[in-house]
Amino acid sequence: MWKIVTFSAAVATGVAVSAEELTSLSPAATERCLAEMTENQNPTSCIGSSANLCMETTEGGWSTYGMSHCLDQERQYWDDRLNAAYKNVRTKRKATDTEMAELGSAAPSQGDALKKMQRAWIAYRDATCDYERSLWGGGTGGGPATVSCLMYLTAEQALYLEADGLVD
């Protein structure tokens, strides 16, 4: 839920690096965190593990550019998971809709409600991360702050859509 990270100190001291100098991110740290979770730990606490490691181990990882790059790589990882989870839920929910229709049920469409939810989530994600960018004014932290926000919200929605209850 916490979309805001503190990186003002790092923003000020970062050095510029080009895209070629940055290694691409491995999601291993995030996946390891998720795999090693204890029962009463929330999986959302694992979000950002890989991006953090990327910033720590990449030369220039704490520059504005480096942070944005690392965060965006993990955002992409979660976005792929989100898309896969969404498709999975959609398939299951549409199958239920078909079954219900065959039974002559007038139950509201789960597939339609799912699509509405995801559209509303996209608008919420964008508006929330626009707001977080506004916290930084024209400052250079606005870039990484926005990407960080997108990464957190995307990950949370991916974890939500991966919940067993939505496909059972």
Partner 1 sequence: MKVLGFLLGLTVLSGVPLAQAEGVSVSADLIGSCLSGLEREKDKRICVGLAAQNCAQSGELSACLDAEIAYWEARLTVGFGMALDRAQGKDSDAVSLELETRDQAVALRTAQDSWQAYRRATCAFEQTLWETGAASSPEAQGCHLYLTAEQTFYLEAVALIE
Report the nearest approach of partner 1 to the CB of residue 72 (Å).
14
CB 25 within 8 A of CB 75: no
Binding partner 1 by CB under 8 A: which of 110, 141, 150, 154?
Answer: 110
Binding partner 1 by CB under 8 A: which of 13, 18, 123, 164?
Answer: 123
Binding partner 1 by CB under 8 A: which of 11, 25, 29, 51?
Answer: 51
Nearer to partner 1, 87 or 116 (CB): 116
- 134/144 Cα distance (integer angstroms): 12
- 114/87 Cα distance (integer angstroms): 11
Report the nearest approach of partner 1 to the CB of residue 151 (Å).
10
Residue 99 binds partner 1, judged by CB under 8 A: no
Burial (CB count within 10 angstroms: exposed 0-12, middle 13-18, buried 19+), residue 133: middle
Nearer to partner 1, 20 or 39 (CB): 39
Contacts of 156 (CB under 8 A, 6+ apart): 1, 44, 47
Nearer to partner 1, 52 or 68 (CB): 52
Amino acid at 13: T
CB 79 within 8 A of CB 121: no
Q: Which residues contact partner 1 (rule: CB under 8 A)? A: 1-7, 40, 42, 44-45, 48, 51-52, 55, 107-110, 113-114, 116-117, 119-121, 123-124, 126-128, 130-131, 133-135, 137-138, 148, 165-166
